[in-house]
Amino acid sequence: MQPALVAKYGEARLPRYTSYPTAPRFSPAIDASTYADCIAAIAPEKPASLYLHIPFCRSMCWYCGCHTTITQRDQPILDYLDMLREEIGLVSARTKAPLNVDHVHFGGGTPTIMRPEEMLALTALLRERFAFASTAEIAVEIDPRTLEQEMATALGEAGVRRASLGVQSFDPVVQKAINRIQSEEQTMEAVTALRKAGVDSINFDLIYGLPHQTVESCIATAEAAIRMAPERFAVFGYAHIPSFKKHQKLIDEKALADAGGRVAQAEAIAATLIAAGYRRIGLDHFARPDDGLAIAQVSGQLHRNFQGYTTDACETLIGFGASAIGRTTEGYVQNEVPPGLYAQTIADGRLATVKGYRLTQEDRLRAAIIERLMCDFGVDVPALATAHGFDPEMLLRGNAKLAMLESDGILDIADGVIRLREGGRFLIRAAAAAFDAYIDQSGRTHSKAA
C-alpha cells in the first residue's frame, strides 16, 4: 500500500464490523421485556447459534479488549456458572419449542478456566434444553498456558471440534511488554492434547501492532506457529484504547508502531502464511484450502459475526453470560456487563438484557452491503438495494467517503458495483464505513483502520 494512503487513512478509528450497527448504537430502550418478546417470536424451525461468555482469567494480558475479571479463586467462577445455568433455563422456557442449534461458541475471558466436569455438565445442559443438529459445531477459546490434558479430554467428550488458541506473539520482548509469557512448547503441548482428544480444527490468534513488535519478530512468530499446523489463523491489529480499557495504560505507547509499521507487520505475517499454503480469508483470517472458511469464501457463503469470519449463517444468536450480545430477527440485545449485576438480575429470575438495538429496513440493507464488502472485498450495491426495496442512488449519490476512496485508487465503481483493489485490502473497513450511517457518532471506541 502506498505510504501516502496509509498516512491518510491508517490512523482513523473504525469498527471491525462484526455487526451493524455496532455496539455503541445500543440503547437501554431495548430491555429484558423486549428480549422476552423476541425469544417467544423465534421460529422454532430456524437454526440458531449459542454464545456463552465466561468472563474470568487468572492474569490480565495488558493488550486485552475483552470483558473479563481476574480471579485466583474458583468460587466466583462456580457462582457465575450457577447463574449461567439459570439463564439457560430462563431463555429456554420462553421459546415456542426447543431451538435448533447449529453452532455453539464458548468465549471469554478463558472458558477453560472452569473444571472439566463443569464443562461437561454445561454442555449436557445445553443439549437437554435445546435441539442440537447432528452436525452442530461447538467451539471454544483457550489460553494454552493453563490447558491440561484432563480438560482437553473433557472438551472432546463434550463434542468440541474447534478450538481457538491465543498466541499473539512468541517474541519474549513483546510478551514481557504485554504481560503474557507463553512459550512455543506450552502452545505445542496444548495442540497435542487437543488433537489427542479429537478436537480436529485448531485456530491460532496472532496480533500485530503490539509494543516492541517488528516485521522480523512477526515473521518468526508466524513461522513457529505454522510448524504446529493449525487449520486457521486470525491475525488482528492491536487496538490501543486506554480510555476504554484502563489496563492498557500499562503498555508503553512509545513502543507501538505507527500505521505504516502496522501495515508492514500485517503484510509480513500474511505473506508468511500464504507462502505456507494458507489462503487469505477476508481482512484478517487465513485457512487451509480444504477448510470450511476457504470453501465458503470461494462459494460466496462467507459471513461475519462477533467471532469474526464464519460459515455460520444463522439469523438467531442467543448470548448467555455477562456482557454477552445476542441477535434475533428484530435486532441486537446485550446483557449486563459487570458479572455482579448480571448475577443479581438472573438470581432475581429476570433476563439480564439491559440494552440493544431494533433494526430498521435501511439498517438491514446497510448491514448486508457492509458484510459483503468485509467478506468479498466487493459488492453489487444496486442488486442488494433492489432486493431490500431501496433506490441504490440513496447510498451512492453524494457519498463523499466512497468518492474519495475511488479517487485515491483504493476501489473501483462501475454501475454501482464496488470492487476493492488488491493494494487497498487493509482499508476495507474504510470502504465499509462509507455505508455506515452512524460512523461519525461512534469512532472514539474503535481500533485504527490499519
Check residue 442 and give its pLDDT: 55
Q: Is 108 annotated as a binding residue?
A: yes
Q: Is 109 annotated as a binding residue?
A: yes
pLDDT surpassing 90 at residue 105: yes
Q: What is the 8-class DSSP label of residue 253? A: G
Domains 1-17+360-450 and 22-320 share a fold: no
Contacts with 274 (C-beta within 8 Å, 6 or more apart), sequence order: 280, 286
The string of pLDDT tens digits covering residues 350-393 is: 999 999 999 999 999 999 999 999 999 999 999 999 999 999 99
d(CA 433, CA 439): 7
Alpha-carbon distance values, 435 to 102, 375, 393, 402 (Å): 30, 15, 12, 8
Helix, coil or strand: residue 358: strand
d(CA 207, CA 287): 16
Place 448 in a pLDDT band, splitting at 50, 70 and 90.
low
Q: Is 239 annotated as a binding residue?
A: yes
Q: Is 414 annotated as a binding residue?
A: no
CATH architecture of the domain covering 1-17+360-450: Orthogonal Bundle (1.10)
Place 1 in a pLDDT band, splitting at 50, 70 and 90.
low
Helix, coil or strand: residue 362: helix
Check residue 446 and give its pLDDT: 55
d(CA 10, CA 23): 22
The string of pLDDT tens digits covering residues 19-53 is: 999 999 999 999 999 999 999 999 988 999 999 99
pLDDT surpassing 90 at residue 272: yes
Q: Is 80 annotated as a binding residue?
A: no
Q: What is the 3-state secondary structure (H, E, C) of 286-327?
A: EECCCCHHHHHHHHCCCEEECCEEECCCCCEEEEECCCCEEE
Place 443 in a pLDDT band, splitting at 50, 70 and 90.
very low
CB 19 within 8 A of CB 364: no
Q: Is 180 annotated as a binding residue?
A: yes
Q: Is 309 annotated as a binding residue?
A: no
Listed range (129-138, 180-189, 226-235, 423-432) with the worst mean pLDDT:
423-432
The string of pLDDT tens digits covering residues 403-420 is: 999 999 999 999 999 999
| Mean pLDDT, residues 174-185 taken together | 97
Q: Is 432 annotated as a binding residue?
A: no
Q: Is 344 annotated as a binding residue?
A: no
Check residue 87 and give its pLDDT: 98
Check residue 331 and give its pLDDT: 96
The string of pLDDT tens digits covering residues 289-301 is: 999 999 999 999 9
Check residue 259 and give its pLDDT: 87
Check residue 425 and give its pLDDT: 82
Q: Is 63 annotated as a binding residue?
A: yes
CATH fold, domain 22-320, is pyruvate-formate lyase- activating enzyme (3.80.30)
Contacts with 353 (C-beta within 8 Å, 6 or more apart), sequence order: 30, 31, 32, 34, 35, 333, 334, 335
| Mean pLDDT, residues 163-176 taken together | 97
Check residue 447 and give its pLDDT: 55
Place 10 in a pLDDT band, splitting at 50, 70 and 90.
confident
Hey, where are the domains in the chain? Answer: 1-17+360-450, 22-320
CB 210 within 8 A of CB 63: yes
| Arithmetic mean of pLDDT over the chain | 94
Place 99 in a pLDDT band, splitting at 50, 70 and 90.
very high
- C-alpha angle 407-411-414 in degrees, rounded to nearest 5: 90
Q: Is 65 annotated as a binding residue?
A: yes
Report the percentage of the chain scoring pLDDT > 70: 98
3-state helix, strand, coil in the chain (%, to 5): 45, 25, 35
